[in-house]
Amino acid sequence: MSIKAKKSIFLETFGESPLIKVLDFFLTFPSFDYSKTQVANEAGISRITIGKIWKDLIRKRIIIKTRNIGKAELYKLNTENARVKILMKIGIELASSYFEEAKEKIAVPT
């Protein structure tokens, strides 16, 4: 079973392209490291598709290699990267706006 069951606000806002799905996964779980196969499975994309995205994420230093476990290389979100910081901030702003919208919908008129 996947770690994430419900579509995130990030995906609702930016769509469900493979790149957005991978970014959403890393933004949702920024403290842990994962293999490429784990990320593909959790993001719901194929190994072939993630291969096309992975090298670019590494080149742009959006994800960084943390360690090897056997033959598997593990990567995590590079929270020191300026682009990643902006994406994280956008995620917080989206969540805040979603909360405000939900609060307005349930507000009882006086």
Number of structural domains (the chain) is 1
Q: Is the pTM of this model over 0.75?
A: yes
Is residue 110 domain-resident?
Answer: no
Question: Does residue 24 belong to any structural domain of this protein?
Answer: yes
Cα gap 17→70, rounded to integer Å: 31
In-domain check, residue 39? yes
**Alpha carbon of 66 to those of 49, 77, 91, 93: distances in Å?**
22, 10, 24, 28
Domain assignment present for 58 = yes
- Give the pLDDT score at 107: 64
Q: What is residue 41's three-state secondary structure? A: helix
Q: Is residue 1 part of a domain?
A: no
Task: Kindly indicate the confidence band of residue 3, based on its pLDDT and cuts at 50, 70 and 90.
Answer: very low
Confidence of residue 109 (pLDDT cuts 50, 70, 90): low
Lowest average pLDDT, out of 22-26, 42-46, 76-80, 93-97, goes to: 93-97
Q: What is the CATH number of the domain that holds 67?
A: 1.10.10.10
pLDDT band at 2 (very low <50, low <70, confident <90, very high): very low
| Residue 44 host element (H or E) | none
86 assigned to some structural domain: yes
3 assigned to some structural domain: no
CA dihedral 7, 81, 100, 21 (to 10 degrees): -10
Range of the domain at 22: 9-105
